[in-house]
Amino acid sequence: MLNIGRLSALLIIITAVLAAGCTQPAETAPDRETMYQVSTFSALSQGVYEGIIPVVTLLQNGDTGLGTFDALDGEMVCLEGKVYQVKGDGTVVETGDNVTVPFAAVTFFDADSTRQLEGLQGLSNLTTLIDAELPSDATMYALKVHGNFSHVKTRSVPAQEKPYPALVDAVKNQSVFERENVSGTIVGVRFPAYMDGVNVAGYHCHFISDDRQFGGHLLDCTLENGTLMIDGTDRFVMVLPRGMQGVDSAKADSSVVSAIEQ
């Protein structure tokens, strides 16, 4: 016969069994070796500047990377799980969760290799050095260089108005900023040649100072000393604007890439 003692025991057992079955998380953990990209460089270069992914979603898919904001409103630096906006006038703010993103690439940064650097003049010398550190040039990398810089040159762009101009025209209104003796972090991504069009083949680097008061798309720098950290990723996730209607499938030609790097 069932009495209160037995019923209580049964209650405890059923509760324990059901509770044990509930320990799984609501969402599976993100793959930390994934490069997560919003839209394509091809679409951005055509003027597809409408934000499609909120910052809060971006940060669920990575803690380090770069991009831009709805209406091409400045340069994005994503570092240590925070998203910073370097506006067209050079001011830097940490963005809210609901600000939207038309183009970005982020990953959860776990350094595969670390190297101390000293006395490197020019961004091209830095990227040449990094090239020699890469195990392969056929996969995707995020990189950080944290250190002391005797000179950093960045740019940012003001928010654009509809109808949106092509990127090569938008950057004609860029502002260039320079800073001497600043400590901060270069946040970069490197994509292989066969991904040209999906993103920019080669390096794309942004910068943010340690005091989070200065940054932007990195045009040039002179490093006094610092630490290079490289994170290779073997998995790629890309989210496109719905249907890509009205977007041309052609890739941006090389003149666009060189124009935005000056």
Give contact residues for a copy of itself (rule: CB under 8 A). Answer: 2-4, 7-8, 10-11, 14-15, 18-19, 21-22, 24, 26-28, 40, 42-43, 135-139, 192-198, 232, 234-251
In the block, tokens 């890469």 appear at: 134
Residues 195/164, Cβ–Cβ less than 8 Å: no
CB of 46 to a copy of itself, least distance (A): 9
Nearer to a copy of itself, 127 or 150 (CB): 127
Contacts of residue 96, defined as CB under 8 A and 6 or more positions apart, other chains included, come to 55
Q: How far is the CB of 232 from a copy of itself (least distance, A)?
A: 6
**Minimum CB distance to a copy of itself smaller for 22 or for 161:** 22
Q: 2: how many CB neighbours lie within 10 A of its CB?
A: 7
CB-nearer residue toward a copy of itself: 159 or 238: 238
> How far apart, in Å, are the Cα atoms of 31 and each of 28, 191, 213?
9, 19, 32
Describe the chain by its helix, strand, coil percentages, rounded to 5: 25, 40, 35
Q: How far is the CB of 213 from a copy of itself (least distance, A)?
A: 37
DSSP structure class, residue 141: E
Q: In angstroms, what is the minimal distance from the CB of 193 to a copy of itself?
A: 4
Closer residue to a copy of itself in complex, CB, 31/220 = 31
